[in-house]
Each structure stands twice: as C-alpha cells, then as structure tokens.
Amino acid sequence: MKKKILFRADGNSSIGLGHLYRLFGLVEIYKKKYDFVFLTKEDTEVSIIPDNYSVKLIPTEITCNKEPEWIKSNFNSESYIMIVDGYQFKSGYQKSIKEQGIKLIYIDDLVQWHMYADVVINHSLGYKSSDYSSEDYTIFGLGSNYALLRPSFIEESKKNRIIKKVDSVFICFGGADPFGLTIEAVEALKKNIEIKDIHIVIGGAFKDKNKLEAIIKDNPRFKIHQNLSEKKMIEVMRSTNLAIAPSSTILYELCSVKMPILSGFYVDNQERIYKGFLDKGAIFGLGDISSFNRKDFEFALSKFFKTNNIESYCKAQIGLFDGKIEERFLNIIEE
C-alpha cells in the first residue's frame, strides 16, 4: 500500500511564516506522487495555505507533548510518512512519533538536539552530518542541494541571469516582519534617486500596512504586493535587479532568480545561512539587522553602490544550485 504524507508546520505573526512556506515547497514536489494532509494549529495564519490543500487543524489546547497521541488517534500510523518543520519538534516529539511506526522527516536549521528522525534536511550551507547528534539510522540532506524551494523557483535556479545595472529594488522581510524592517528600508529608499522602482512584498501576518501606505502615499515609484502566489512572486522578482531581504527562505528564492542582494540576519537560525551565502560571495552582507533603522539602510545602500562587482553576485548564485533538487527530495523519501 502506498503511503500518504502528513505535513506539519505552524505560522502566524508571532513566529513568522517561514516554516509554512518551506513545507509548501515540499508539498508541491511530493503531491505529484503522494496523497497528503497538511496539519497545523488553529492559531496559524491559515489564509496563506493554498486552497487546494487538504488541511486538518490541531486544537490549540493540544500541547506539543500531547500531539503525538492526538496524531495516533486521528491517523493510521502505518499509512503515513510525516514531514515536520518547527522548533518545537525536539527529541522527545521525534521519539514519540517514531515509536508509533511513522517514518519521520525533520526540517532543521538549528543543529541543537538529538535527532530521532529517519531523515534530517538542513539547507544551510556548511553543515556536515558529523555536526549532529543522531540515531545510527538517521540520514541527512544538507546544503543548497536540498534547498527548500517551491517548484517554480527550482526551475528558475536552472537559468542564468546577469545583472549589469541596478535601478529597481525588491524588498521583503518575510510574511510577518517582526522587527519592522520593511518601513525602515522604504524610508531609506525614498531619497535615493538612483532607484526608479521599488517593489515591497508583505505577507498575511504583516501588521503595519496602513503605516506603510501612508509613508509611500503619492509616490509612484513604490508599489506594495501582498500574499503573492509563487509565480507572481517570481514575476515581481524578475522585474527588479536588486533585493533587500533577510537570510531566510526568501534568500534562497532570490538567489534562484539571481540578482545582487543586500542581506542580513535578525534571528539565530538565519545567521548560519547568512555566513554560508556570504562566504560564497552570493550576497552583499549587512550583518545583524535586528536593530537597523533608516540611516543604517542608507549607509548600506551607499556602500553597495560604490562597489564595482555587481555581476559577481549572480555568478556566485548560479553555482549554488545544480537543477537536481526535486529529484533528490523524491529519492530521499524512499530511502
């Protein structure tokens, strides 16, 4: 009997939407061959989950400790593979799921606890399996060869693109932007006469839309996009030739499209991604941006425009992906 997949992740304005979007990429790969159910807590921003997904909500009163038992009572363990993405799914959770006989794939980027999962995926650059504490049976999918990209971005990663001139900007600080960096970056670009068009992408959990609209009112250079589809996101990215974004999943997507990117980190899990891309020469590094303000972004933009190696970023990004990401994910679930 062919197994089905349980995808498990949460996302809202408090924890961000990154865990959801990373799993969306895997859903699009695996749904061609597997039936699936997407599991998420009731307080998740469910509006961003695609309408064609089969979704089951987990009651908010079900704690992480109780969740394996809830799964056992709602699903036939022998029929499912489970793919989970979230920092709450630590060793105890993984062990409980494994004891039910469920094959478990865990999406990680912290490398902090013992792994009981059958497969661990970490698309951060620079990690080795020896960096992990794990069971003997655990196998690993590490680095940009396992980038958690949606299929259209995987296709973009196979294309070459070279930028020689910068006059349009893509800005995105994730679906929630908990540090309010979008507005600071926008303020920095208002006086920049070198940039003709600024595309601002916000998500369903973004709370400062009214303030943002007031700042750019009557300024035709700025355009706000919200809750973009995968293909529309690529269209907007390709219409620009410079990006400002954190070192999260959006950075992998931008690198697949290819352009100079001003990137930094504001939480611990982004720092390793940041250092990996910086070492490859794939980004213009901003460091820790958790307290960045308008002047910080102005200084960074001024420094960037004084560089003479704009083309080098795209060339470095081309080397990150080899076009076989989807094939690897299809193979690793069957190992």
DSSP character for 77? G
∠205-261-259 over CA atoms, to 5°? 110
| Residues paired with 243 in a beta bridge | 170, 261
List active site positions.
19
Do you know the residue count of the chain? 335
Q: Does 150 count as an annotated binding residue?
A: yes
**Both tokens assigned to 263:** 């990137």
∠90-84-33 over CA atoms, to 5°? 155
Helices (H), 136-248: 151-157, 181-189, 209-215, 230-238
For tokens 């979230």, the residue is 86
Whole-number Å distance between alpha carbons of 271 and 274: 5
Q: Does 61 count as an annotated binding residue?
A: no
For tokens 């062919």, the residue is 2
Whole-number Å distance between alpha carbons of 325 and 14: 31
Q: What is the DSSP string of 33-76?
A: T--EEEEEETTS-GGGS-TTS-EEEEPTTS-TTTHHHHHHHHS-
* 3-class SS of residue 235: helix
Residue ranges of the binding site = 150, 253
Residue ranges of the binding site for substrate = 150, 253
